[in-house]
Amino acid sequence: MLRMKTLALSASLLFLTAACALTPPADDPVLLKLDELERRLAAIERVLASGSLVDLTVQADDLQQQTANLRGRTESLEHDAEGQAERQRELYEDLDMRIQNLERMGPGASGPVSVLDGGSLMPGQLPVPGGSDRDNYQAAFELLKEQRYEPAAMAFQQFLVSYPDSQLADNAQYWLAESYYVTQQYNEALSEFEKVINQYPTSRKVPDALLKVGYCNYELERWNDARGALTRVQAEYPDTTAARLAEQRIKRMDTDGQ
């Protein structure tokens, strides 16, 4: 009986050995998985060897930097447009006030303001001789609006001489400076903007004047002075258009390494 069990066990082992021997290596799932892993590893090594993965990473970084730069320029343009819109609103408000005053003065009021019709303005002459401080301020402002910057500057200068105590003196001083700034006379503009800050410290024009002090120094390539003025705008007049524009100019300076 024992002999018969021994013969049966030997036959079973022989059968299993033969079955394993009959399974070809190509169909072994373990070997198939190893082959797949080897192929994937070889593909990764080829990519690394060619440097294409590094190139793609560099290109992605460049694209991200370009996107950030474009976003910054877009924000700068938006803030510049906002400041321009505010200035235009102020221009039109002052012009409307001037028109209303002229209408109240009647038909005879058109004679004294002939300089607005293209006439010349001599040094020391008011655009509206015999008119009030408001009449002459509005006439000078109209010259500026018409981009007649030289006679506008002369008109504002004489206004300040004739009406030093006028409630419009701070505005006149600011627009005198602006008439120099828009004609790229940055040294003259800088001096006049500083007068707004020093002589009229409570004026609502001070934040804009301080911003323009920064702009003038920027154009004159006085980087430290420009940054100082722009930083002061942000610190002393936060949440204003001037502060937002100052921030954008500082970012531009940072980008340009100034």
Does 158 or 1 have the greater pLDDT score? 158
Report, as an integer, the average pLDDT of 224-252.
96
Supply the pLDDT for residue 107.
Answer: 45
Angle, in degrees to the nearest 10, between helices 29-50 and 52-105: 60
Supply the pLDDT for residue 38.
Answer: 73
Supply the pLDDT for residue 19.
Answer: 47
213, 197 contact by CB (below 8 A): yes
For the domain made up of 52-105+117-256, give the CATH fold.
Answer: 1.25.40
pLDDT digits (tens, 9 = 90+) for 178-207: 999 999 999 999 999 999 999 999 999 999
Confidence of residue 15 (pLDDT cuts 50, 70, 90): very low
Paired tokens of 93: 């408000």
pLDDT digits (tens, 9 = 90+) for 206-230: 999 999 999 999 999 999 999 999 9
| Average pLDDT of the residues of the chain | 78
pLDDT digits (tens, 9 = 90+) for 43-77: 766 766 665 555 666 666 666 666 666 666 666 67
For 131: left if phi > 0, alpha if psi spans -120 to 50, otherwise beta; the answer is beta
Which string of DSSP letters, residue by residue, matches 121-175?
--TT--SSTT--HHHHHHHHHHHHHTT-HHHHHHHHHHHHHH-TT-TTHHHHHHH
DSSP letter at 238?
T
Work out the number of other CB atoms within 10 angstroms of the CB of residue 113.
20
Confidence of residue 110 (pLDDT cuts 50, 70, 90): very low
Cα separation, 240 vs 234, in Å, equals: 8
Paired tokens of 37: 């892993």
Q: Phi and psi at residue 208, in whole multiples of 5°?
A: -65, -40
Amino acid at 111: G
Domain ranges of the chain: 52-105+117-256
